[in-house]
Structure 1
């Protein structure tokens, strides 16, 4: 019985190590006062916008104080294009995104807003 118990302990340790290695991923936290309908990232200064991350949310938008796991984003230095209903768009410059961290956007971060 001891070999089976030892094998179970080794298996459990391996699973928890794998889970730790995956981490929680990069998450966006909407601290603006409005619901985001779009969130796109570009390497800082390049205006090469990636996909709209809010489309992966269950209701396709990110409410105030809601968090969303970002997909396909590597740690680095980015600018973000944030969209709201009514065609309002704003830029957030110089986001430093780290692995398995939460990046937040608040009203004070929004620049160059249209409409």
Structure 2
């Protein structure tokens, strides 16, 4: 019995846990490169840190995906600034662990320049 347990433990230790877990990601489907992206629990206006800091060039190009960190699953408002100088807020986005959420140009109704 002890040998079997040791063999199972050894086999499990060889499985890379990072390969099993998926990252939560944002997919930029707007027309412009995003230079700042913050999330707030829906309706709270308590904006978190700039998620574009997770990207090597600190921007999210059109059709690029960005790893989202320090965010638990739930309903969020997203605020972003893009390279054109536009600031937009998109409300009630569902963020799920290991899933991709996106913002499309057609979702943009609350923007200022």
TM-score past 0.5 threshold: yes
Which category of TM-score, normalised to the shorter sequence, fits these structures?
0.7 to 0.9
Partner of residue 66, structure 1: 64
- Structure 1 moving runs of 4+ over 4 Å: none
Aligned length: 108
Aligned counterparts of 1:109 and 1:17: Cα–Cα separation in 2 = 38
CA deviations 1:62-96 (Å, max 9, x no partner) are: 00110111110110000000111243100111101
Q: What is the Cα deviation at residue 59 of structure 1?
A: 0.6
SS of residue in 2 equivalent to 1:87:
coil
Could you state the TM-score of these two structures normalised by the residue count of structure 2? 0.85
Partner of residue 98, structure 1: 96
Q: Identify unmatched segments of 5+ residues in structure 2.
A: none
More helix by share: 1
Deviates more, 1:84-93 or 1:10-19: 10-19
Q: Identify unmatched segments of 5+ residues in structure 1.
A: none
